[in-house]
């Protein structure tokens, strides 16, 4: 089942909203100019609303695509594509998390890096 939106986290190495815009422009369609509000950057890639939040969790940047109209079925597919395009470590939830699942499953994440793909425990709170 296609997720209603996508959120991935990219390690704060050599990636910024400009690199993200170049990748999303190729994947989704050209990006509008970024509009900065506080620490958050927003644009549209094709018809998809995009939010970029630097250092959302420590040294991790959040990329949120507020649409189910992307080429990726879920967060993991998007994370794989981001790693392939940007060569930076990416983390995402293994599926759509709902509050009823409890805190334990909220700490389950997929890590995609040069080491491969693995499930990890990542305490973000």
Whether the CB-CB separation of 11 and 60 falls below 8 Å is answered with: yes
Tell me which residue of 22, 16, 4, 23 sits closest to 79, measured CA to CA.
23
Give the model's pLDDT for residue 44: 96
Degrees to nearest 5, angle at CA 124 with 121 and 125: 125
* pLDDT at position 82 over 90: yes
Give the helix ranges, DSSP H, for the chain.
17-28, 75-86, 103-106
Mean pLDDT across the chain? 89
Is the pLDDT at 104 greater than 60, yes or no?
no
Question: Using the 8-state DSSP alphabet, how is residue 92 labeled?
Answer: E
pTM: 0.89
- Residue 99 pLDDT > 60: no
Q: What is the DSSP letter of 99?
A: G
**Tens-digit pLDDT profile for residues 17-44:** 888 999 999 999 999 999 999 999 999 9
Report the C-alpha dihedral over residues 97, 100, 105, 110, rounded to 10 degrees: -10
- Hey, where are the domains in the chain? 6-121
């Amino acid at each position: 089942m296609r997720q209603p939106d996508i959120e991935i986290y990219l390690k704060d190495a050599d990636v910024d909203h400009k690199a993200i815009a170049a990748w999303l422009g190729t994947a989704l369609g050209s990006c509008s100019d970024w509009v900065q509000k506080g620490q958050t950057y927003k644009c549209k890639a094709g018809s998809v609303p995009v939010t970029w939040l630097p250092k959302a969790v420590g040294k991790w940047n959040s990329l949120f695509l507020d649409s189910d109209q992307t080429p990726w079925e879920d967060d993991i597919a998007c994370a794989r594509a981001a790693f392939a395009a940007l060569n930076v470590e990416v983390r995402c939830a293994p599926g759509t998390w709902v509050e009823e699942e409890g805190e334990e499953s909220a700490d389950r994440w997929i890590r995609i890096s040069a080491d491969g793909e693995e499930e990890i425990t990542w305490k973000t709170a």
